[in-house]
A and B are shown apart, each in its own frame.
Chain A
Amino acid sequence: AQSVAQPEDQVNVAEGNPLTVKCTYSVSGNPYLFWYVQYPNRGLQFLLKYITGDNLVKGSYGFEAEFNKSQTSFHLKKPSALVSDSALYFCAVRDSEGQNFVFGPGTRLSVLP
């Protein structure tokens, strides 16, 4: 069965500093990996995805994520955090057959001014 782990419930970072939100996964076959963000009182929004190709993928709002097959990780990164980045971030995985979407438990990011 597929699974996603986000080892940190909460990440605090100062505005302007780099941020990392961690994600590790377990899936049979080649993984399709995603990051979504949930702002207060708003729906989930897609940030970026890894399907194949370059291990470093770029997404919305200046975010990027690095796929590491040997470590089964897909960490979300941003070079310089903004206060407006404060939100709940979810990592997700699906199998190559298009089924079995699984979301992680989420990591709350707080960017402090």
Chain B
Amino acid sequence: EAGVAQSPRYKIIEKRQSVAFWCNPISGHATLYWYQQILGQGPKLLIQFQNNGVVDDSQLPKDRFSAERLKGVDSTLKIQPAKLEDSAVYLCASSPGGWRGNRGEQFFGPGTRLTVL
């Protein structure tokens, strides 16, 4: 079974530029998550999708971050414009089943390391 795929693996941009990350979850997984992991900290949930609908985006900085999951499969996270404090690893994860019923085990991708200069 293929795992969660993410691209790119690394990205370096200057502040005020835009950047986009892509995630393809495990086939058949209904729930998809985007996390931000700053060095030395635990992952922070940015947004949670159930199929193509948003379940939780309470911690997503909506003035600069956006995410979509068209057709309920792969997803894109965008930052526009980027700030220095956005430097982090962006993790995508997926879970089988619905967001209420799923038992919470998440399968993580390798992450995208973003450096904002």
Q: Is the CB of B107 within 8 A of A90?
A: no
Q: Is the CB of B91 within 8 A of A51?
A: no
CA distance A4 to B103 in the complex (A): 19
Tell me which of A49, A99, A106 contacts B48 (CB under 8 A). A99
Q: Is the CB of B107 within 8 A of A46?
A: yes
Distance in angstroms from B35 CB to nearest chain A CB is: 8
Tell me which of A32, A43, A100 contacts B108 (CB under 8 A). A43
CA distance A104 to B40 in the complex (A): 11
User: Which A residues have a C-beta under 8 Å from some C-beta of B?
Assistant: 4, 32, 34, 36, 42-46, 49, 51, 90, 92, 94, 97-106
CA distance A101 to B59 in the complex (A): 11
Residue of B nearest to A92 (CB): B42
CA distance A36 to B105 in the complex (A): 9
Chain B residues contacting A36 (CB-CB under 8 Å) are 106, 108
Residue of B nearest to A106 (CB): B42
Interface majority SS (helix, strand, loop, mixed), chain A: strand
18 more contacts with CB within 8 A, not counting A34-B104, A46-B107, A104-B42, are A36-B106, A36-B108, A42-B110, A43-B4, A43-B108, A43-B109, A43-B111, A45-B108, A46-B105, A49-B103, A90-B42, A98-B102, A99-B56, A101-B48, A101-B106, A103-B35, A105-B40, A106-B40
Distance in angstroms from B32 CB to nearest chain A CB is: 12
Q: How large is the interface on B (under 10, 10 to 19, 20 to 34, 35 or more residues)?
A: 20 to 34
Q: Is the CB of A90 within 8 A of B43?
A: yes
Q: Which one of A4, A32, A42, A46 has the highest number of Cβ atoms from chain B below 10 Å of its Cβ?
A: A46
Tell me which of B40, B43, B98 contacts A44 (CB under 8 A). B43
Distance in angstroms from A94 CB to nearest chain B CB is: 6
Distance in angstroms from B9 CB to nearest chain A CB is: 11
Q: Does B33 contact A (CB under 8 A)?
A: yes
Chain A residues contacting B48 (CB-CB under 8 Å) are 99, 101
4 tightest A-B contacts by CB?
A103-B42, A44-B108, A43-B108, A98-B99
Q: Does B13 contact A (CB under 8 A)?
A: no
Distance in angstroms from B100 CB to nearest chain A CB is: 4
Q: Is the CB of B104 within 8 A of A43?
A: no
